[in-house]
Amino acid sequence: MSFHCIACIKAAALKAPAKGMKKNSDTAQMNPFDRIALALAVNVARSCGGMITALSMGPASCSFVIYEAMAMGADKGILLSDRRFADSDTLATSTALAAAIKRLAPFDLVVFGARTSDSDTGQVGPQTAVALDLPLVSGTFDFEWKNSFFLAHRKMDEFRETYEVTLPAAFTIHPSSITPPDIALENIETAWTKKIAFWSLEDLELRADQVGLEGSPTRVISQKMAARKRHCEFIEGSVEEQAEKFVRKIKEKGII
Amino acid sequence: MNTLLSEKHRAIRKAVRSFCDRELTPIAAAIDQEARFPWEAIEIMGKLGYFGIQAPTELGGAGLDSLSYVVAVEEVSRSSGAIGLTITVHNSVAVHPILSFGTEDQKNRWIPPLARGEKIGAFCLTEPNAGSDASAIEATAIRKNDCYITNANKVFVSNGGVADLCLIFARTDPGAGRKGISVIVAERGTRGYSVGEPEDLSGMRANPVCSIRLYDCRIPLENLLGKEGAGLQIALETLDTGRLGIAAQATGISQAALEASFRYARERQQFGTSIGSHQAVQGMLADMATMVDAARLLVYRAAILRDEGKPFSREAAMAKLYASEISTAVTDRAVQIHGGYGYSKAYAVERYYRDARVTRIYEGTSEIHRMVIAKGILEEYP
Ligand SMILES: Cc1cc2nc3c(=O)[nH]c(=O)nc-3n(C[C@H](O)[C@H](O)[C@H](O)COP(=O)(O)OP(=O)(O)OC[C@H]3O[C@@H](n4cnc5c(N)ncnc54)[C@H](O)[C@@H]3O)c2cc1C
């Protein structure tokens, strides 16, 4: 079975936006959750002979995420880049991504990171699936290709679920799914010799009022780095008691 | 910060840093103390292309340019100077001369396993009586029938304890002085090839720097690299490239010391405030940051010239001289900023301080570099 997988990736901000600051490889990185989704897709593609398109929306200065995706194993890359896409919220972003994905048909899988490191909404994957009228399995941590059907294993809190999925379908990938492998130096060199496609509003056959600020029902008024408060707490008791108390504490906080 | 780097070069930096932060930084202190060569990390690095950074892809290399190479060496050295040494010696002074001076046959035979890190290379010039004066070497390789009968006592061989392939500088024509020196490739396992105990070094301790001795070693004629008598010319050309690597290595060690110092200066409280708010400490930090940037720019310039196919020998010498000199200055200040803790193995700056020191000595001492640089410039102003 050879399939086409589209991996949606975002250049996530590393710093809060400031006046005159450009989003580029110094101020942004491939969203770590998308890196996991892409790595899982690459694994599946390697094992059953599929091909992967990396898709991102952002200014041209963010094309580095597409090249990075190609260095990780994506076969081709597309950047949705148009001034009129600027300031899109999650809905407008999903509208643009859905239009691009339609243009990339036929496809079998569309994968998204579970969320982003810079806005954490987790909405873009599900919204895009809705816009495309695709079934969605969230929290997927592994795929399995049976001869005639496709299984998605899902992980949510304490539960594991297995879904039989009819393709094409969309998936958000669980952060614990896979550790993205290290990139071989040669692959970086090769990725940068490839051409990536830049698609504008016209290429997506969308109207200007469907994207950007105009197409966004929500807007971000301000964004700044959160000041993280650290505090130190001593746990008393024997080693076993300390371990017990520590585990209880991090469970209460929802860390595990 | 890295205005000279393209997005591709930044991606290389990012990929190397991410690998090293995860696989090398956590073991760097232990392999230094145990003087242990970390095969587990080396094997992964081989698969990722670190042993054939500039070797062509057809021969199993990563096919990158010199700028990528110095970026990668800097990043590896930022995590572990000793592994930085392994990488730069292997790439610059083993793989590179084989690619430059080897026949097609030799390249096809030696490069693929070297480029994949399945074999490790070493460069053997120094002898007990020939350090800065390479032309004083006493090793001999006398042609007899189908081989060179080679006798050599090579010391301070980086990677020596793990090397499979050694470039041996020896006299094929003992009467011919400087013109009688050639390069013979000796393979581990050849009868008469023996490896000494690792040197108990001050720094770079994870690198098995050893002596290599050849006693009546019969090395086939086809293992001659380049022409007979071309040894010193090969050495000089190779050291140009080697200097780039050492300069990048020194810069990586300096960078690590700089980052540690900034972190510590923010955290450490004295007189009711962080030590970083004391002007005297700020002065040190500012000087360190400026020196590291200047060194890096010199390294990049030399690498870019090389990529453009322009002469880069003097620029590489300047980069090596400056980057190594400032790396002792920077790591010295890093220890100073850490106070007593900086003199303890509890903090990494203690290792950086030891590791940095040798960069002023190997692949040409600072004094020899000054001589070479000055001589070249003086000749331009007759
Ligand atoms: C960790 C380590 C790894 C090494 N790895 C390798 C390797 O892989 N392969 C290899 O071949 N060698 C290697 N070396 C050897 C290194 O290159 C030599 O140590 C170096 O070239 C200096 O030689 P020397 O130690 O004999 O010092 P000497 O040449 O004896 O120098 C002693 C001092 O005299 C100065 N001096 C000498 N001649 C002059 C002059 N004409 N004018 C002014 N000052 C002068 C020097 O600058 C130095 O300060 C390594 C050394 C070390 C410590």
Q: Which residue do the tokens 């080396």 mark?
A: B42
Does residue A90 contact residue A96 with C-beta atoms inside 8 Å?
A: no
State pLDDT tens for residues A159-169.
899 999 999 99
Q: Which residue do the tokens 């990043």 mark?
A: B75
Alpha-carbon gap: B338 to the closest alpha carbon of chain A (Å): 23
State which fold the B2-120 domain adopts: Butyryl-Coa Dehydrogenase, subunit A; domain 1 (1.10.540)
Cβ contact, residue pair A185, B49, below 8 Å: yes
Pick the CATH number of B232-380 from 3.40.50.1820, 3.40.50.150, 2.60.40.10, 1.20.140.10: 1.20.140.10
Confidence (pLDDT) at A23: 86
Of A67, A68, A189, the CB nearest to B62: A189
| Helix locations, B37-141, DSSP H | 39-48, 66-79, 81-90, 96-101, 104-115
Does residue B209 contact residue B163 with C-beta atoms inside 8 Å?
A: no
CATH dotted code for B122-229: 2.40.110.10
pTM of structure:
0.93
Confidence (pLDDT) at A95: 93
B interface test, pick of A36, A185, A186 with most B CB neighbours within 10 Å: A185
Residues of B known to be catalytic: 363
Q: pLDDT > 70: what percent of chain B?
A: 99
To test the ligand 1 pocket, which listed residue (B361, B366, B373) has its Cβ within 8 A of the most ligand atoms?
B361
pLDDT-based confidence at A213, cuts 50/70/90?
confident
**Tokens encoding A193:** 């010799």
Give all domains of chain A, ordered by start, each with its CATH number: 4-210 (3.40.50.620)
**Can you tell me which atom of ligand 1 is nearest the CA of B358?**
53
pLDDT-based confidence at A219, cuts 50/70/90?
confident
Alpha-carbon gap: B49 to the closest alpha carbon of chain A (Å): 6
C-alpha to C-alpha distance for A7 and A144, rounded to whole angstroms:
17
Confidence (pLDDT) at A89: 87
Residues of B in contact with A71 (CB under 8 A): 11, 15
C-alpha to C-alpha distance for B357 and A138, rounded to whole angstroms:
54
Alpha-carbon gap: A182 to the closest alpha carbon of chain B (Å): 6
State CA B358 to chain mean position distance: 11
Cβ contact, residue pair B68, A68, below 8 Å: no
Higher pLDDT, A3 or B186: B186
Cβ contact, residue pair A185, B11, below 8 Å: no
User: Which are the contacts of B192, defined by CB distance < 8 A and separation ≥ 6?
Assistant: B150, B214, B215, B216, B217, B218
State pLDDT tens for residues A147-159.
778 899 998 877 8
Say whether residue B144 is in contact with chain A using an 8 A CB cutoff: no
Does residue B64 contact residue A189 with C-beta atoms inside 8 Å?
A: yes
Is residue A231 over pLDDT 90?
no
Phi and psi of A161, rounded to 5°? Answer: -130, 150
Residues of B in contact with A183 (CB under 8 A): 15, 48
Say whether residue B294 is in contact with chain A using an 8 A CB cutoff: no
Q: Which of B361, B381, B319, B12 is nearest to B209 (CA)?
A: B361
Is residue B289 over pLDDT 60?
yes
Say whether residue B62 is in contact with chain A using an 8 A CB cutoff: yes
Say whether residue A60 is in contact with chain B using an 8 A CB cutoff: no
Higher pLDDT, A216 or B171: B171
Q: Where exactly are the structural domains of chain B?
A: 2-120, 122-229, 232-380
The arithmetic mean of pLDDT across residues A81-94, rounded, is 90
Of A26, A68, A186, the CB nearest to B11: A68
Conformation bin of residue B156: beta by default, left when phi > 0, alpha when psi is -120 to 50: left
pLDDT-based confidence at B197, cuts 50/70/90?
very high
Q: Taking all residues of chain A, what is their mean pLDDT, rounded to a whole number?
A: 91
C-alpha to C-alpha distance for B146 and B339, rounded to whole angstroms:
62
Using DSSP's 3-state secondary structure scheme, residue B353 falls into helix
Question: Residues with beta carbon inside 6 Å of ligand 1?
Answer: B 89, 123-126, 131-132, 156-158, 201, 204, 209, 358, 361-363, 365, 367-368, 371
Using DSSP's 3-state secondary structure scheme, residue A172 falls into strand
Q: Taking all residues of chain B, what is their mean pLDDT, rounded to a whole number?
A: 97
**Bridge partners of residue B214, in order along the sequence:** B152, B193
Residues of B in contact with A188 (CB under 8 A): 8, 11-12, 15, 64
Confidence (pLDDT) at B170: 98
pLDDT-based confidence at A1, cuts 50/70/90?
low
Identical fold, B2-120 and B232-380: no
Cβ contact, residue pair A64, B11, below 8 Å: yes
Residues of B in contact with A22 (CB under 8 A): none
State pLDDT tens for residues B74-107.
999 999 999 999 999 999 999 999 999 999 999 9
C-alpha to C-alpha distance for B181 and A30, rounded to whole angstroms:
53
User: Which are the contacts of B86, defined by CB distance < 8 A and separation ≥ 6?
Assistant: B37, B42, B120, B158, B159, B207
Of A20-29, A186-195, B64-73, B98-107, least confident by mean pLDDT is A20-29
pLDDT-based confidence at A220, cuts 50/70/90?
confident
pLDDT-based confidence at B2, cuts 50/70/90?
low
Of A121-125, B32-36, B59-63, least confident by mean pLDDT is A121-125
**Tokens encoding B70:** 């110095």
